[in-house]
Structure 1
Amino acid sequence: MVFIATIKSKFNSFFKLILPYSYSELGVFTFFIITYGILGWYIALDYRIIFDERIPWDAYFSFDNRSIVMTGGSFERHPLSYYFFNWIREIALYLSDGKTNAVFRLALAWMSTLMVSLSMVQIFKYLKNIINLPLFITFLIIIFFGTFSTPIILSFTPENFTYTLFLLTLFNHYAAIKTKKEEKIPTIPLILAGVSIGGLTITNIVKVFVPIAFEKDIFRNWKKFGNAALRVTLTLICFILLYLNRINFKYENIFSKTNSQYEKFSNVKSTPIWDMILSYFFGGNILFPSFIIRNKNNMKGFDFKALLMDTYTSWLPYVFILILLILVFWSYIKNFKNKFVQILMISFFIDIIIHCIMKFGLHTAYIYGGHFVFVYPLLLGWLFYSYKSFPKILSFLTVTVSILFVYLLLNNYVRMTEFFWFLNQYYQ
């Protein structure tokens, strides 16, 4: 009976963590699932861009929709997503009676909508329960974040990044709860996080271990340090064994494929590096730039049109991004001794190193927003919190974020109308 009660308690805690629990959380979830759901419904039923048998990659913004849905993506970057997307694909096929038709596309879109909406709930819970912001500020930040280009696009896109966004926001919220209670992250949740997050994108597994470095007295108590080392080791062993099993233990393929992928995605020189960093890495996942249309071929004789993001073409978007970055790094400096903020920024720095310093995929860095874009609203939240006793600065921050939100909303609305023009021209 005690065991059953414990299991029941664990399940209750899990669902309380993952699902809307209060009226305000339910309101946020309902708003986003309706808003994003209508968008996904319209695109899935009226256009074939979400999934087209003839187009494995790059139809819009370099996403690999068909390739990801059918195979999970390349094993060297997405080692375990093959198994995950088998379930996604089979559920969609079951609902569409085995056909890759409009119903199939709608099922894929709605699963993406659900994941992004639940991601919004996780961000909202963090702002409300971990940072303890007033509801007005919390709603302002979450609606600001909900207008970012990344959640808009991922809300109807069946991709690794869509599910990674949800898993990373969920894990960061869970880790913050444990950190706030000064508790360690147990072994089983750590393994599940490592396998799921690292399995979808291998580099993200490092982020799972970041909160462990901030557990209480971990570097002062050898017993606690040893326990943490054991948990990390067990997580890595489980992940590595599953990874090797995925490739039939032909580990030499990992190195050859990884090197070829790095060479392929890190040597693009058509745009200045500083502009790619601002327009693509820091900008494109938040504020849509203008779009460009390219002629593509599926390598099997089928030509199609692809939509890609361009760099910013006026000074206003650069100013927007620079102001937002100033707010983010202001928050980091102001809260430098705050372990919650350090956890977020260290995770963010991992992506900065990979894409901006190592230049991996920098020319299409806007597609990687699901790995880190949630850091922006959380750091904004901590900035508001740090000035809770300074009404004038709070007013300044509120006005600033409100102005940024209005500009973001107008810009992204206009760009989405251009996106629909592209759909009407080539994907009806």
Structure 2
Amino acid sequence: MKTKLIAILKQVFPASYPELAIFLFFLICYGILGSYIAFHYRIIFDSRIPWDAYFSFDNKAIVMTGGSFERHPLAYYFFNWVREFSLWVSGGKMDVIFRLTLAWLSNLAISLCMVQIFKYLRNIIRLPLQISILIILFFGLFSTSIILSFTPENFTYTLLLLSIYNYYAAVKLKKEEKIPGSALALAGITVGGLTITNLVKVFIPVLFEKDFFRSWKKFGNAAFRVMLTTACFVFLYLLRIDFKYENIFSKTNQQYEKFSNVESIPDWDMMLSYFFGGSILFPSFMTTDKHNMKGFNFKGLLMEPYSSSFCYAFVIVLLTLILWSYFKNFKNKLVQVLAVSFAVDIVIHCIMRFGLHTSYIYGGHFVFVYPLLLGWLFYSYRSKPKMLSFLTVTMGILFVFLLTNNLYRMSDFFMFLEKYYQ
């Protein structure tokens, strides 16, 4: 038991000096950003604003209830802990200290996520330190990483949990070991409990376990673990809603209709500007008039489609690198796990069009795939210096553009805060 606990702590937290350096770097950088916002502005948590203050995040609603039960079935329990801990720190007041605590919990989650991605790059892909640092800094500048570092939301903790689980599963698959039923159940309850559509991602690595399709015994064992996880999840889900299962179908249908029928922007533009691009490279912003349905009016901030050809070029180049990595490493089961996981979100948001018009907020479900596939691309050319140099230069150019663009757009974000949320 002690050995397993130590192993878990070593996986989740920094276990080497480079990992500790990565963790402290992001903790400090994100901490400064989140602390400044918490001290000077009320946007992180304002009791009058339940949703949509910026980029359609539901800060107050999530902190108070965990979100709607049909999409976030077990988040209620998790955010009860988050809220009560923050209230304990603030002495029971929803003031600046309360906001600061929420921001630092988000900061801790995203900084630990950076550690997980760095561990994967170093321990699974076995990339050199310099390339791993370049990729993790690139990932740290994603719009999703920046925004979630101070935002108390389901996406924040989902990104961490998915990163932890994917690293854990990669370790098991690389050793040709099966994922224990207890670990699978824990991942299903936590990951699926925060966002139900992510439950299927927990099962994806099981499909790539050794001899899964060649041995009836191993297939049956895997099926049992999946059914056990599903049964645990369903039981806790039904317990959460007092076994009134009919509410699930009616609410789910309402949510799908609400978030899937927006025709204001062409689908291809929403895919590039919001789903593939907005979660990485900030576009320009627009303000909207909002109200809390109780007589209080406020301003919200949304992302616009890209207006610059350079932004479209950035997204296309990045997607080209990702597809290049996938086809170059097609026979690699760890790459297939990442690709299938990403495909789940592509189907939900791009094909089924659920929330496509605001799909940049769903980045916490899939952005971790980008740095890992980039890492596998570097790995596939590890013995070809010229190609490594080309990839490094390309990444350097993308990094500089991402840094410049996202810093500039964050200045727009602060102008919005100065005007409406002091």
Same fold (TM over 0.5): yes
Instruction: Give the aligned partner of residue 32 of structure 1.
Output: 26
Matches within 5 A, 1:283-298: 283-298=277-292
Match 1:49 to one of 40, 43, 48? 43
Match 2:304 to one of 302, 310, 320? 310
1:251 aligns with 2:245: yes
For 1:283-330, what per-residue CA distance to the aligned partner results, in whole angstroms no more than 9, with x for missing partners? Answer: 000000000000101100000000110000110000000000000000
Matches within 5 A, 1:39-78: 39-78=33-72
CA distance in 2, matches of 1:345, 1:221: 25
Q: CA deviation at 1:218?
A: 1.1
Match 1:339 to one of 333, 338, 343? 333
Matches within 5 A, 1:221-236: 221-236=215-230
Matches within 5 A, 1:98-247: 98-247=92-241
DSSP-derived class of the 1:299 partner: coil
Instruction: Give the aligned partner of residue 3 of structure 1.
Output: none
CA distance in 2, matches of 1:149, 1:298: 26
Structure 1 runs of 4+ with >6 Å offset: none
Instruction: Give the aligned partner of residue 85 of structure 1.
Output: 79
2:45 maps to amino acid: F
For 1:147-183, what per-residue CA distance to the aligned partner results, in whole angstroms no more than 9, with x for missing partners? Answer: 0000000000000000000000000000000001000
Q: What TM-score results when the alignment is normalised by the length of structure 1? A: 0.98
CA distance in 1, matches of 2:327, 2:363: 23
Instruction: Give the aligned partner of residue 90 of structure 2.
Output: 96
Q: Which runs of 5+ in 1 are unaligned?
A: 1-6
CA distance in 2, matches of 1:210, 1:258: 24
Q: Which runs of 5+ in 2 are unaligned?
A: none
1:14 aligns with 2:8: yes
Match 2:372 to one of 351, 357, 378? 378
Name the Cα RMSD after superposition.
0.3
CA distance in 2, matches of 1:121, 1:370: 16
Match 1:267 to one of 226, 238, 261? 261
1:21 maps to amino acid: A
DSSP-derived class of the 1:295 partner: strand
CA distance in 2, matches of 1:115, 1:271: 33
1:411 aligns with 2:402: no
CA distance in 1, matches of 2:90, 2:383: 55
Instruction: Give the aligned partner of residue 389 of structure 1.
Output: 383
CA distance in 2, matches of 1:150, 1:99: 29
Instruction: Give the aligned partner of residue 322 of structure 1.
Output: 316
For 1:225-260, what per-residue CA distance to the aligned partner results, in whole angstroms no more than 9, with x for missing partners? Answer: 111000000000000000000000000000000000
For 1:113-148, what per-residue CA distance to the aligned partner results, in whole angstroms no more than 9, with x for missing partners? Answer: 000000000000000000000000000000000000
Count how many residue pairs are aligned between Structure 1 and Structure 2. Answer: 422
CA distance in 2, matches of 1:338, 1:91: 43
